[in-house]
Every structure is written in structure tokens, then in C-alpha cells.
Amino acid sequence: MITYINGSPKLNNSASNKFLNDIKSAEDKIQYIYMNNYEDIIDNIINSYTIVLSFPLYADSPTSGVLDFLEYIKNNTIDLSDKNLYYIVNCGFYEPQQNNTAIDIVRCFCENNKINFKGGLSIGAGPIIGIRDSKLIYRILTKSYDNKINEFKEKIQNNKNVDMNITLSLNKRLYVYAANISWKNTIRQANKK
């Protein structure tokens, strides 16, 4: 059994949730750090052989909820030494390498708690990839995502180590230009309220 954990405060409206939905089977449920009780999540983990932890990058780190959850495991000396852990980290930056510090935090947690760190998927431009189904242009810009997410899912199912990165199929300058337009439009809309 695999436990899928969403560490985004946006819960099921998040890119983190979308990525989990893309790899889990229909009958699998997602646990939410910001909604579910830690004990309930731990019960699911204990009955699993693999954990998939998905979260957005917040200030070069996992979200505070993810950090609190990891601390809870450590402070309560919960033995997860027979578990495998995979991550999916996404950020709004173009470069997936921006996630490296957050990945290192998860890796160190695993090493310190004797959890089998199996690697994962680092996603740049995560918010766009997360809404890729909403517009044709997003599907075009994220055309390599389907192959990557299917490869990632297969690695998890076969208990293989994985170290994958993905971002948009778009020049970085164009991405920054489009992001600036999007932010300005968001600010204009907020000021109209």
C-alpha cells in the first residue's frame, strides 16, 4: 500500500494535489497535512510500505505544515525504518533546481529517522503544470509532463530510486515575461474589489 500525503495549505485545490492524483489509483485516498489529524496519517503510513509526500516550495523549504509533521514523527519516535519515501516538490520558479534545499531537508529527515529515501520529482513552474488541463496553451507548454509523471509512477510501483526534474517547454525569458503580466493582472483584479 502507498500513502499519498499532500503538504499544501491549498489542500485539494493545489498543484501538489493534482500531481498526486496523476500518480495514484482511483481507490487510493490522499491524506492532507493541513486537514487530517497527524495520528490518522501515521496510521495510514504504518500500514503502507511507501510514502509519497507532495508539497510546494515555500521560502526554499517545505511548508510549515510539512515541517511540523516531520517534527511530530521525530519527537514521537515513530519507527518508519521499513518505509520508502518519495517526494514531489513544485515551485513557481522556472528552474526545478530551486527545490534542492527543500529536497535536502526531506533527505536529511529520512537519513536521521532511518527512512528509505527513494528520491522523487522536482517540478519548476509547478502552478502552470498543475493547471495544464485548463487551457490548450498550458498543455502544449507541458507536453513532456505526461511522460515524466508516468515514468515516476512506474518507478514508485517498482520500488526504484528516482531523481527527476521537469519544467515548461518554454524559454525562461518568455516565462518571466508571462509571469509578470499574470501578476499585474492579479493585482489589478484585487484592486477592483
User: How confident is the model over 34-52, as a mean pLDDT?
Assistant: 89
What interhelical angle do 15-23 and 145-157 show, nearest 10? 60
Please say if the pLDDT value at position 131 is more than 90: no
Q: What is the pLDDT of residue 105?
A: 97
User: How confident is the model over 36-65, as a mean pLDDT?
Assistant: 91
**Closest-CA residue to 71 (of 36, 45, 38):** 38
Task: Tell me the helices (H) and strands (E) count for the chain, helix number first.
Answer: 8, 6
Q: pLDDT tens-digit profile of 78-125?
A: 899 999 999 999 998 878 999 999 999 999 999 999 999 999 999 998
Q: Position of cell 527513494?
A: 118
Question: Are the beta carbons of 9 and 65 closer than 8 angstroms?
Answer: yes
Distance CA 9, CA 16 (A): 10
Q: Which residues of 34-54 are buried (b: 16+ CB within 10 A; e: fewer)?
A: bebeeeebbebbeebebbbbb
Q: What is the pLDDT of residue 41?
A: 92
Q: pLDDT tens-digit profile of 138-188?
A: 777 777 888 899 999 999 999 999 999 998 766 677 767 666 766 677 777
Least confident among 9-13, 71-75, 97-101: 9-13
Question: Are the beta carbons of 8 and 16 closer than 8 angstroms?
Answer: yes
At 125, which amino acid appears?
A
User: How confident is the model over 66-75, as a mean pLDDT?
Assistant: 94
Q: Domains of the chain by range and CATH?
A: 2-192 (3.40.50.360)
Confidence band of 130 (pLDDT split at 50, 70, 90): confident
Distance CA 49, CA 85 (A): 9
Higher confidence at residue 111 or residue 36? Answer: 111
5 by DSSP, 3-state: which? strand
Least confident among 1-10, 53-62, 84-93, 167-176: 167-176
Which neighbouring-strand residues pair with 51? 3, 85
Q: What is the pLDDT of residue 77?
A: 86
Confidence band of 63 (pLDDT split at 50, 70, 90): very high
Q: What is the pLDDT of residue 154?
A: 95
